[in-house]
């Protein structure tokens, strides 16, 4: 059967099933039946993640263009200008998180590298990480095509990519906390004014951090379940 098939049972039908089962001694009166349809809930979580992530990338773009100065540079990012053959591309913004970890922000997604675990690319329109075991990219990610070697993780790669995605989200939470502490929530609200074009979903500035925390908690829970099942 298809995993997307929807099954609808009327209250009367459910009651009939329970009554028949009780009369036959198959279930006790105290038994609670809980029907969980996970597909819609999973899709909702993924939609929330994609919407928030896409908005976050917009915010980084506005932080770059901040009137008082490029906030990413202020936060320690290196701005890398494109070569002549990539003249139509935007600057790459790269941040060294440690001796072994690096972060790259692009308009089409984010790249997180760890010398021990490899590299993930999180597309703006998906939020499902693609993975390579290499901790360094062979070429700078000027375009999405430069990341074609990264694939959806399998086997033990899932654990590595999951760990890096959690670290990425944790960094985003810290970044947004710093924005609100240093520049104020009104600044973030102003950066979202042009994002609101009447078509896009807008996550209010006061909900950005709580939503990222919720996403992080969900990722950690899934990561823990994966480890327990191995």
Q: Are 110 and 119 in contact (CB under 8 A)?
A: no
Question: 32 lies in a domain?
Answer: no
In a domain, 24, yes or no: no
pLDDT along the chain (230 residues), means of 10: 40 44 47 43 79 97 97 97 94 95 97 96 96 94 96 96 97 98 96 92 97 96 73
* Other beta carbons within 10 Å of 161: 27
Look up the domain containing 114 and give its range. 43-228
Note whether 94 and 77 are within 8 A (CB). yes
What's the pLDDT score for residue 227?
64
Determine the Cα–Cα distance for residues 9 and 21; give it in Å rounded to an integer: 16
Q: Is residue 215 part of a domain?
A: yes
Number of domains in the chain: 1
Q: Is 116 a member of any domain?
A: yes
pLDDT for position 228: 63
Gap between the Cα atoms of 207 and 192, Å rounded: 13
Q: How many Å apart are CA 94 and CA 111, to the nearest integer?
A: 9
* Residue 12 maps to a domain: no
Q: For position 13, what pLDDT does the model report?
A: 44
Asked if 165 and 220 touch (Cβ cutoff 8 Å), the reply is no
Tell me if 186 is assigned to some domain: yes
Spatial CB neighbours of 178, under 8 Å, sequence gap ≥ 6? 75
The C-alpha angle with vertex 13 and arms to 9 and 18, in degrees rounded to 5, equals 115
What integer pLDDT is reported at residue 225 of this predicted model? 76
- Is 206 contained in some domain? yes
* Within-domain flag for 53: yes
């Amino acid at each position: 059967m298809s995993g997307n098939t929807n099954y609808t049972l009327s209250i009367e039908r459910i009651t009939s099933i329970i009554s028949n089962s009780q009369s036959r001694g198959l279930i006790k009166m105290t038994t609670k039946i809980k029907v969980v349809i996970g597909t819609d809930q999973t899709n909702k979580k993924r939609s929330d993640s994609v919407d928030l992530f896409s908005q976050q990338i917009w915010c980084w773009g506005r932080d770059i263009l901040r009137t008082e100065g490029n906030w990413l540079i202020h936060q320690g990012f290196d701005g890398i200008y494109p070569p002549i053959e990539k003249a139509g591309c935007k600057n790459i913004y790269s941040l060294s998180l440690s001796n072994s970890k690096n972060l790259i922000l692009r308009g089409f997604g984010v790249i997180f590298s760890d010398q021990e675990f490899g590299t993930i690319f999180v597309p703006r329109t998906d939020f499902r990480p693609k993975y390579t075991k290499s901790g360094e990219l062979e070429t700078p990610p000027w375009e999405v095509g430069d990341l074609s070697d990264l694939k959806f993780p399998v086997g033990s790669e899932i654990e590595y990519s999951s760990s890096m995605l959690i670290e990425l989200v944790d960094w985003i939470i810290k970044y947004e906390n710093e924005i609100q502490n240093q520049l104020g929530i009104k600044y973030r609200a102003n950066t979202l004014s042009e994002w609101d074009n009447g078509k896009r979903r807008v996550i209010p500035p006061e909900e950005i951090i709580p939503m990222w925390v919720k996403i992080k908690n969900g990722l950690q829970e899934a990561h823990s379940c994966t480890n327990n099942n191995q």
